[in-house]
Amino acid sequence: MIQKWFIDDIQRVLGEHRYIVVTDARGEGYYLLNYLPQEYMLIAVKDEWGEIEAKYLAESKYRNQKVVFYAKKKAEKLTFLQEYVQTAGLLALDDMEAYIRQKLFDATGKNTTIAREKLLLAGKLSEGKDLKWWISVAEGITEPLNMKESLLPFLYAPNDKRKEMDDTLWNVFRDEVYNIIGKTPTEQPADVLAHEVVNVMFQRIVDNTIEGLLLDVYYQWADSAEKVDVLRKCVESYTLNVDIDTLEVHPDHPFDFLDRKLMKQLSNAIKSGQDTTDIVKYIQKRSASRKAKVFKPQWLSSVLTLCTFEMKDMNDIDDYTKMAEFYRQNFSMLDTAMRKIYVAWLNDEPTLRPLQEHYTQLNKELLTKWYSLNGKYTPTQAGIVANALEGDKRTAVIVCDGLRLEIAECVAKGLTDKDMMISRNVALAVLPSVTENGMSALFGCEEPTTNTQARFANLKKVCPDVEILPLGMFGEGTTAKKLVLTYGDIDEVGEKKQMGGLKDIDNYETELREKTKTLFRLGYEKVVLTTDHGFVITGILDEADKEPRPNGQILRIEERFVLTDNPLPSTKLIENEGRYFDSNYQYYARTDKPFVTRGAYGYAHGGFTPQECIIPVYELTKKNDDFTFGIAISNKSELRNITGNYFTVKLKADRCDESLFTQKRKIKVMLFAGNKLADGNALHTMKPGDTFSQEYEWSDGIDKVVITDKETAAQIDSCEIRKSSSRDIDDLF
């Protein structure tokens, strides 16, 4: 608004004269010159020589233009421009405070009592503001300087922000900052002031007295991907009192030390049987808030799950089907939580042990129910892969080794696409729950085999066209209608690293999610996620926790099961009669703890627990909302019978509804040799009803052509390319 008032004054004089002199003895109105209309010629003068030059330019070079003279001195101090002051016009900005006050009074009929510095600042910051804003400022309702917008950039880069401010702005800003932190203003460098603000911010967080603007700025800072690294450094350099009561600190604090102290406090309370209600309430409050999430460890919500989990709704469970559903819907989330707690606290056994014991008590209730179920345990794992591949849909089955159901659930929860539909089916694994047994069952083998190729060959008996690849090997060149992808990383890392491998599982979850998305992008209509077996985490293990070796003749003893040729003498172990390789009987402990064996402990499978035996058969489908016209390879029979050294790929776009005739679709034509891209540079644009052909030279190894959408990378169509066995006509000449 001040800019408008200034321009109005200028135009009022220049409406009658060719010149106007603007004096600004203190230089406080200099910023207004930025708003002069371009048709006016501005000439600034510094001294008497400058006045002479300005007068000469005005009468010669700029004689046909309106001229504004600007001088940082009062009118009576002018010499050679005095003539224009007397004959043309004068706009005195020597006292900007008085100028603004008068303009406000003229516009509102009211005097304002706000301080001089704040009034001058309001003038500089009033660009784009209307009279209502000025009235609000004049009445003390609105602050001209928006500290909520200004404080964070200052804390992030104090010296840079100071350079952007003139002295007027800095003085007001500095006073406002001191007012916010409740201290008397003093002259000090910008970085020192910023450091002082941060210290006050942290102290008020610790005291739980932070509120208002300072709390808002903290939240902005903590949630800013661009600026949070500077806040991290400030947090790391801040010294906390070791005697702080963690439950009295603001729940959105940024201090890892306090989270770990809280965890130890909880652990000690559980160990000594003390009431943990207040601690759990604090964790709930800290976990529930979405503010400053970057400073809240992932394991915190896992601890909350462990502390608040209740074993309920188990009375009606009387068979393995109901138990499997209960485990998937309820207990699996507790297993996920405990796994994440192990990852975070494995190196701190004193803190971890009481939480593990609390989990063990809950797990004992589950196992007690599991081992008391009526009826015979009947595995439902056989033939899962072949069953999943049935039907006309283009289908991919991801067969994992050691994908515990709770991990599959984490994968599924991370697939947030609203068009993704998930059927969370489960099955019961064969016993013992080990790789060679479970994989053999998945691929439909009547007897377990350690031969991977034999398993694959068995599947191809019922699904001859299936393509079987490692998960990492499929890509844009994968065109199989029926696809099986194997993924052994989870079991492999568990076997090698034991408990240390748990930290890698989050990455495996991410990989499985991304591969699933890629499969849908490539045009698969259904993806099934399943596994051979789950596993148990033995955790901190004392010698007394291990199951003793049973009496009797034993063919083989593993961590989680015992194999014999004949029945053992009276035992509390679970007996399962049935041929398994060279054994006739299997025995399982009624616990998730291992038998006494040689080797490392921590990650184990093969036993008879829900964690090992209830496996996912998750079926994922995606609603197709692609209303773009289709494009197909129109000469597939020719491509499957190439007779020369050259071949042509012909495409035809569908004719469609008139509403789609204005659409265009960019496509990419790619040639592959196996899964290796041989030629993928051809880009084309097609409209409904268009045809297109492209000739290529034959080279050894090329076996397929794939058409994809340039924008989405989705597969549109594909075709095999095969060289004809008949003689090329070129050979006759």
673-693 confidence digits (pLDDT tens):
888 888 887 788 988 889 999
**Long-range pairs for 565-574: beta carbons < 8 A, 24 or more residues apart:** 574/371, 574/608
Strand partners, 679: 671
Q: Quote the CA–CA distance of 291 and 363 in Å, as a whole number.
A: 33
Alpha-carbon gap, residue 721 to 639, rounded angstroms: 5
pLDDT of residue 733: 37
Specify the DSSP class assigned to residue 622.
Answer: E
Q: Which two tokens stand for residue 128?
A: 């784009």
Per-residue pLDDT at 498 exceeds 80: no
SS3 186: coil
Q: pLDDT tens digits for 84-106?
A: 888 888 889 888 889 888 888 88
Asked whether the whole model's pTM tops 0.85, one would answer no
Q: Given CA atoms 266, 269, 270, 271 in this order, what sign does their dihedral have?
A: positive
Q: Are 532 and 614 in contact (CB under 8 A)?
A: no
Amino acid at 120: L
Cα separations (Å) of 306 from 310, 333, 422? 9, 9, 26
Token pair in block for residue 157: 């880069």
Q: Specify the range with the lowest mean pLDDT, choosing from 577-586, 632-641, 660-669.
A: 660-669
| Tokens found for residue 583 | 């054994």
Q: Mean pLDDT over residues 14-40, rounded?
A: 87
- Alpha helix (H) residue ranges in 463-537: 489-497, 505-521
Lowest mean pLDDT among 404-408, 589-593, 602-606: 602-606
List the 526-531 sheet strands across, edge first.
420-428, 614-622, 526-531, 395-400, 482-487, 467-470
The β-bridge partners of 42 are 68
pLDDT at site 701 = 86
Phi, psi (degrees; rounded to nearest 5) at 567: -60, 145
d(CA 699, CA 513) in angstroms, rounded, equals 36
Question: What is the rounded average pLDDT of the residues 632-636?
Answer: 92
Q: Rounded to an integer, what distance in angstroms lies between the CA atom of residue 532 and that of residue 437?
A: 8
Whether residue 326 is predicted with pLDDT greater than 70 in this model: the reply is yes
Mean pLDDT of the chain: 90
The reported pLDDT for the residue numbered 731 is 44
Three-state DSSP at 91 gives: strand
pLDDT above 90 as % of the chain? 56
What is the average pLDDT across 375-393? 95
3-state secondary structure at position 697:
strand
What's the first-to-final CA gap in the chain, in angstroms?
90
325, two tokens: 């559903």
CA distance 294 to 391: 46
Rounded CA gap, 235 and 684, in Å?
54
The first and second tokens of residue 485, run together, are 């992808």
Token pair belonging to 147: 């500290």
Residue that wins the pLDDT comparison between 699 and 358: 358
In whole angstroms, give the CA distance from residue 194 to residue 159.
9
Burial class (CB in 10 A: 0-12, 13-18, 19+), 227: middle
Question: Residues 299-317: pLDDT tens digits?
Answer: 999 999 999 999 988 888 9
Give residue 729's pLDDT.
Answer: 45
Q: Which two tokens stand for residue 246?
A: 């963690």
Torsion of CA 674, 678, 684, 690, to 10 degrees: -50
Strands across the sheet containing 676-686: 676-686, 665-673, 704-709, 715-720
125 has pLDDT over 80: no
Give the span between the Cα atoms of 214 and 152, in whole angstroms. 10
Residue pair 615/533 in contact (Cβ under 8 Å)? The answer is: yes
Least confident of 149-158, 523-532, 616-625: 616-625
Q: Which residues contact 639 (CB under 8 A, 6 or more apart)?
A: 633, 647, 649, 705, 719, 720, 721, 722
Amino acid symbol at 23: T
Kindly give, in sequence order, each residue whose CB lies less than 8 Å from that of residue 63, ignoring residues fewer than 6 positions away.
none
Q: Give the model confidence (pLDDT) of 58-88 as tens digits.
A: 889 988 898 899 999 888 888 888 888 888 8
Q: What is the rounded average pLDDT of the residues 110-133?
A: 79
More confident of the two residues 121 and 614: 614
Contacts of 525 (CB under 8 A, 6+ apart): 393, 394, 395, 621, 622, 624
Neighbours of 230 (CB within 10 A): 16
Cis preceding linkage at 432, omega within 30: yes
pLDDT at 265: 96
Give dist(CA 584, CA 577) in Å, integer: 6
Is residue 727's pLDDT more than 60?
no
Residue 624 pLDDT level (bands cut at 50, 70, 90): low
Residues 524-560 have pLDDT tens digits of: 999 999 999 999 998 888 888 889 999 999 999 999 9
CA distance 536 to 182: 56
Of 189-203, 284-298, 589-603, minimum mean pLDDT range: 589-603
Over 50: is that where the pLDDT of 730 sits?
A: no
pLDDT band at residue 565 under the 50/70/90 scheme: very high
- Say yes or no to pLDDT of 180 above 60: yes
What is the dotted CATH code of the domain comprising 631-720?
2.60.40.10
Where exactly are the structural domains of the chain? 1-94, 145-239, 384-540+600-622, 631-720
Joined tokens for residue 299 = 């394991």
For residues 133-163, one letter each, b for 16 or more C-beta atoms within 10 angstroms of the residue's C-beta and e for the rest, the string is bbbebbeeeebbbebeebbbebbbbbeebbe
SS3 (DSSP) at 710: coil
Can you identify the CATH homologous superfamily of domain 384-540+600-622?
Answer: Alkaline Phosphatase, subunit A (3.40.720.10)
Q: Are 653 and 689 in contact (CB under 8 A)?
A: yes
Q: Which amino acid does the sequence have at 235? A: V
Q: Where are the alpha helices (DSSP H) in 89-209?
A: 96-108, 116-124, 131-138, 147-156, 158-164, 167-181, 190-207
DSSP β-ladder status, 665-673 and 704-709: antiparallel
Range list of β-strands (E), 271-349: none
Q: What is the spatial distance between Cα 157 and Cα 522, in angstroms, rounded to a whole number?
A: 46
Q: DSSP H helical segments within 346-451, as ranges?
A: 349-371, 384-389, 405-413, 435-442
For residue 718, the 8-state DSSP code is: E
Flag the least confident range among 276-285, 536-545, 656-665. Answer: 656-665
Per-residue confidence at 253, pLDDT binned at 50, 70, 90? Answer: very high
Mean per-residue pLDDT, 231-259: 95
Backbone angles phi, psi at 527, to 5 degrees: -125, 130
Q: What is the Cα–Cα distance from 650 to 477, expressed in whole angstroms? A: 19
Q: What is the largest CA-CA distance in the chain?
A: 125
pLDDT at 732: 38
Task: Note the pLDDT tens digit of each residue in 348-371.
Answer: 999 999 999 999 999 999 999 999
The answer on pLDDT for 710 being more than 80 is yes
Instruction: Quickly state the pLDDT bin for 462 (edges 50, 70, 90).
Output: very high
* Segment (H or E) for 22: strand 19-23
Task: Please tell me the distance from the alpha carbon of residue 465 to that of residue 479, in angstroms, as a whole number.
Answer: 11
